[in-house]
Amino acid sequence: MVELKTATHVDAMREAGRVVAQALTAVREAAAVGVSLRRLDEVAHAVLREAGAGSPFLNYHPAFAPMPFPAVLCTSVNDAIVHGIPTDYRLRDGDLLSADFGAKLNGWVGDSAISFTVGRARNADTRLVDTAFEALEAGIAAAVVGNRIGDISHAIGRVCRGAGYGIPAGFGGHGIGRSMHEDPGVPNEGRPGRGMPLRPGMVIAIEPMLIASGKDAYYEAQDGWTLRTSDGSRAAHAEHTVAVTEDGPRILTAL
Ligand code: MG
Ligand code: MG
């Protein structure tokens, strides 16, 4: 069941999205060699408190997880694709970090993720991260009235596969609104012209995940949350919450 949002709802979601953007900016500024993942979670939490917003991540407990998520931020380093738990691990030079964050404000949720290198970047990582954002942009550009979900999926998959990267099947974007995960699902690969038609008022999180080796295989780590690449190669992830409107896609989680 897809809830179409009114223009007023979308404006309210934009305010939640602004908090998400502010938190991710603060996380990026704080992320440096020697800084712990737990510290980054604290930085993000401080932004939530300042804004009077809640966390859709903290204590989130889907059926697949053995325990509720213990933090407000997901921190996925190197071979971790998504859902990494912020631990006492201290970032090292050249680490590739994905930071994924959500905020709930006045009953509405925003969800966004960035990937970046801490310290000196490997060329291969820079290309991977650039491609993740390129895939995100392609997905957003396809989020227009008259298209279908499959057009978004196809646009994302084309960029990722075209660059030679793998795509972890079974994880992808989602509808979002009063809760973090709503219908419809937005796969990161698909056939154009297929799936649910996009309508004004649909709000979706678009989130490509890329595996550097070109393989698609991943596994769930012992913590029951972190998804890691099976071959140990690095992964990148980028995400925005986007509203489909008569005037085109509106990004709700930009600064
Ligand atoms: Mg997210
Ligand atoms: Mg999401």
Asked if residue 255 lies in contact with residue 149, where contact means CB atoms within 8 angstroms, the answer is no
Q: Cα–Cα distances in Å, from 227 out to 74, 110, 211? A: 11, 22, 12
Task: Compute the distance from residue 247 Cα to the ligand 2 centre, in Å.
Answer: 23
Q: Cα–Cα distances in Å, from 54 out to 58, 101, 192, 242? A: 9, 11, 37, 20
* CA dihedral over 71, 72, 78, 81, signed as positive or negative: positive
Q: How far apart are CA 157 and CA 160, in angstroms?
A: 5
Tell how far CA 169 is from the center of its chain. Answer: 15
Amino acid present at 161:
R
Q: How far apart are CA 71 and CA 57, in angstroms?
A: 7
Tokens, residue 15: 């305010």
Amino acid present at 133:
F
Task: Compute the distance from residue 199 Cα to the ligand 1 centre, in Å.
Answer: 22
Looking at the CA of 174, name the nearest ligand. Answer: 2
User: Average pLDDT per run of 10 along the chain, which is 255 residues long?
Assistant: 96 98 98 98 98 98 93 98 98 98 98 98 98 99 98 98 96 97 97 98 98 98 97 98 98 98
Q: Is 67 exposed, middle or buried (0-12, 13-18, 19+ CB in 10 A)?
A: exposed
Asked if residue 58 lies in contact with residue 85, where contact means CB atoms within 8 angstroms, the answer is no
Amino acid present at 81:
I
Task: Compute the distance from residue 113 Cα to the ligand 1 centre, in Å.
Answer: 5
1 secondary structure, DSSP code = -
Percent of the chain past pLDDT 70, that is, above it, reads 100
Task: Compute the distance from residue 231 Cα to the ligand 1 centre, in Å.
Answer: 24
Asked if residue 17 lies in contact with residue 253, where contact means CB atoms within 8 angstroms, the answer is yes
Looking at the CA of 98, name the nearest ligand. Answer: 1
pLDDT of residue 64: 86
Task: Compute the distance from residue 204 Cα to the ligand 2 centre, in Å.
Answer: 9
Residues with CB under 5 A from ligand 1 (ion): 100, 111, 113, 239
Task: Compute the distance from residue 100 Cα to the ligand 1 centre, in Å.
Answer: 5
Amino acid present at 211:
I
- Structural domains in the chain, CATH included, are 7-251 (3.90.230.10)
Residues 222-244 have pLDDT tens digits of 999 999 999 999 999 999 999 99
> Whole-prediction pTM value?
0.98
Q: How far apart are CA 8 and CA 214, in angstroms?
A: 42
Looking at the CA of 20, name the nearest ligand. Answer: 1
pLDDT of residue 4: 98
Task: Compute the distance from residue 17 Cα to the ligand 1 centre, in Å.
Answer: 11
Task: Compute the distance from residue 205 Cα to the ligand 2 centre, in Å.
Answer: 5
Q: Is 186 exposed, middle or buried (0-12, 13-18, 19+ CB in 10 A)?
A: buried
Task: Compute the distance from residue 1 Cα to the ligand 2 centre, in Å.
Answer: 18
Residues 21-39 have pLDDT tens digits of 999 999 999 999 999 999 9
Looking at the CA of 57, name the nearest ligand. Answer: 1
Q: 235 - beta bridge partners?
A: 211
